[in-house]
Structure 1
Amino acid sequence: MTMKQAKFDRRTVLRAIGVAVVVGAAGCLGNGESNDEDMVEDEPDYDGWFHDVDNYEGTVDLRGEDEVTVRVGTGEQGVQFDPSAILVNHLTTVVWEWTGEGGQHNVVHEPETDDEDYEFESELLGEEGEIYEYTFNHEQVYRYYCEPHRDLGMKGAVTVEH
């Protein structure tokens, strides 16, 4: 092996290591999982909505974003929203993106009272990459669920503030 080949091989290895480190760091930061810094201090009142939701650990603070993504069909059985509860600003668009896991899912708003209308409801979707989006116009807590998997605790909430 010539010196030129060895130098090229070393550069290639170092470049690959650098790329792996950057990709690994990006994966840690952008995998949809939250850490303590992302959580709100004063939890909204969900009135027991999350009592049967396995992955609810608090409300993720996503204020300051124009658009945020909630993954549909996460967890061991593919019957969770991730994150399950988020805090956003008025006029934020939430994009629910299907993972393709857990069968067909939908996103259905749960009105707080019988007088309140459904604000949003998606079709049943099941393919990876399918999306449903809604822009939130009113300051309130929006509880939602997946109709086929509601009894399995597939529920979420979007809290909107100005």
Structure 2
Amino acid sequence: MSYPQLTRRKLLEGTAGLAVAGLAGCSAPSGSAQQQAGGDDHPGHGQEEPGHDTVSEPAASREVVVNTARSEGSTEYHFDPHVTWVEVGGTVTWRLESGSHTTTAYHPDNDQPRLVPEGAAAWDSGTMSEEGETFEHTFETPGVYHYLCTPHESLGMIATVIVGDPHLEDQRALQTMPENKSEEVQGKLEELNTIVRDIMSDDQHEEETHSDDGHGHDEATHTETDQHAEETDAHHDEETHT
């Protein structure tokens, strides 16, 4: 399964690129059990839709739209966007647009495997059923957090919050794949892990590029100039002494 190049400034606006992977729509088409676990038919996802946001940089607050979209032969369950990035101490607000859903952390307090940082607080909205209903959670611990909709987890309604600028090699969410979950759920988690790694890798690359183009380049040029000047002075002193 291949993914388009993702950057921290534009995470597949409209999430059309992830529809092929089955993640963008979190769809449960009518038909076989295999199709219900996540088919490739996602009508309408080639267009921009409200809530299909871009991941640019951490913010103090973000909103995630939660909804059920129905079209002919298909029902799609959304956390939108699928990856959200906030600052340490930032707040995510989930707003129910349609359907009945939860936002529930992968945390032992919720009878789930831990796919959030050690020491991080759990959250569970309970079932939200009224249009416009909201639930919010403030993230005090940097890291990567996976979460789910309890009734629709098996249909791929899973998403992620990145908090701060975490070291990916220390993130349990990226390093641990729960064994007691179905292949469909594990596949969605791995897709999210891939997106997170790409976002953070591009972010680190931009910072390194900025450093090289700025102070790093100037410092190297300055060092070479000083060395040339010292060699010239030494040669001049030797000729004068001779």
Give the secondary structure class of the aligned counterpart of 1:129: coil
- 1:1-162 mapped onto 2 (5 Å cutoff): 37-39=9-11, 53-55=23-25, 60-61=54-55, 63-76=57-70, 77-101=75-99, 104-110=100-106, 111-112=114-115, 119-162=122-165
Aligned residues: 113
Q: Which runs of 5+ in 1 are unaligned?
A: 1-34, 41-50
After TM superposition, the structure 1 stretch with the greater mean CA deviation from structure 2, 87-96 or 70-79, is: 70-79
- Contact 1:60 1:87 survives alignment (8 Å): no
- Contact 2:8 2:55 survives alignment (8 Å): no
More helix by share: 2
TM superposition shift of 1:79: 1.1
Q: Which amino acid aligns with 1:155?
A: I
TM superposition shift of 1:116: 6.7
TM superposition shift of 1:123: 1.1
Largest Rg, 1 or 2: 2
How far apart are the structure 1 equivalents of 2:24 and 2:84?
Answer: 16
Q: Which amino acid aligns with 1:156?
A: A
How far apart are the structure 1 equivalents of 2:81 and 2:135?
Answer: 16
How far apart are the structure 2 equivalents of 1:145 and 1:130?
Answer: 17
Q: Which amino acid aligns with 1:65?
A: A
Cα 1:140–1:134 shift into 2, 3 Å: same
Q: State the Cα RMSD in Å.
A: 3.0
Q: Which runs of 5+ in 2 are unaligned?
A: 1-6, 13-20, 27-52, 107-113, 166-242
- Contact 2:103 2:125 survives alignment (8 Å): yes
- Contact 1:62 1:86 survives alignment (8 Å): no
Percent sequence identity over aligned pairs:
27
What is the TM-score normalised by the length of structure 1?
0.59
Q: Which amino acid aligns with 2:88?
A: H
TM superposition shift of 1:80: 1.1
What is the TM-score normalised by the length of structure 2?
0.41
Cα 1:127–1:78 shift into 2, 3 Å: farther
Cα 1:74–1:67 shift into 2, 3 Å: farther
How far apart are the structure 1 equivalents of 2:92 and 2:56?
Answer: 10
Per-residue CA deviations over 1:55-100 (Å, capped at 9, x if unaligned) read 48xx942535322100011544251100011222111100000002
